Structure 1
């Protein structure tokens, strides 16, 4: 019998390279055809291992899904960055490598991030998704998120819609 260990834990400095790889693969999978190609490439290039190492060292709330000693996904979160919105916490990013999507790991990462936020006094959570990212919209709706705001985001010379989901 083969046994695979799946854990969710805080990111460690040695995880930076693997998180960068997950970020690269997940962003290409999620945003190709949504974010203009040149802008997407620039965004991915900015988030290499050094960037992730610095984020971990600085204490960014960053949780990873460790699948049999390989990083399969990550979530970053903290205090809501939009004070006018009545939500204490914000899930900044939640991504899984494409081969780990659709297996329930996203929910596990989401729940772990929400628990950590609640443990730090943030009992409500906000998360943004691009309006053209149907997979993300479906995911957050399935988790019980309510659309609370719509806005726009600029990528180079192009504008894309984005949607905020609230979780109480």
Structure 2
């Protein structure tokens, strides 16, 4: 019998290639049919291993979900960048490779990041997601997120609707 070991930890520079693979697979699965094909391909191509290695050196926290020594997901987070939202913390991105979705690992990663933000003084945490990404919207709503704002995100030449959810501790 084999043992499945999972953990959540801060990302290391050596994780850049694995994070890039998760990003590629998760974005193709989440945004196919939502973000126009050419724009989606450009975004994925721009964020390869070199981009992630640079991102890890910038200092904004990035946590990875490690499942039996395989990076299965990641979350980028930190201080809330949108001053119009009533939040001190923000989760910029939270993605799992498609084969790890739907079994509670995303919820574990989310809670770990919210706890880390709480340890850093954030009493409220915001998350933006594209409105047409219904799976993500349902995920945040099931976790208790309260819809607090709507806006538009420019992607390529399109303006896509987005929603902000707030989580209060």
Same fold (TM over 0.5): yes
Would you identify which runs of 4 or more consecutive aligned residues in structure 1 move more than 3 Å?
A: none
Give a deviation string over 1:117-162, Cα, whole Å, max 9, x none.
Answer: 0111112100001000010000000000010011011222222100
- Shift of residue 13, structure 1, vs aligned partner: 0.7
Counterpart-to-counterpart distance in 2, 1:58 and 1:164: 25
Helix, strand or coil at the partner of 1:167: strand
Counterpart-to-counterpart distance in 1, 2:57 and 2:83: 26
Structure 2 partner of 1:30: 30
Structure 2 partner of 1:50: 50
Give a deviation string over 1:44-101, Cα, whole Å, max 9, x none.
Answer: 1111101111111222200000000000000000000111211000000000000000
TM-score by length of 1: 0.98
Helix, strand or coil at the partner of 2:128: strand
Counterpart-to-counterpart distance in 1, 2:20 and 2:56: 12
Structure 1 partner of 2:96: 96
Helix, strand or coil at the partner of 1:116: helix
Counterpart-to-counterpart distance in 2, 1:161 and 1:84: 17
Counterpart-to-counterpart distance in 2, 1:12 and 1:52: 10
Structure 2 partner of 1:108: 108
Counterpart-to-counterpart distance in 1, 2:83 and 2:159: 24
Structure 1 partner of 2:81: 81
TM-score by length of 2: 0.97
Give structure 1 stretches of 5+ with no counterpart. none
Helix, strand or coil at the partner of 2:161: strand
The Cα RMSD (Å) is 0.8
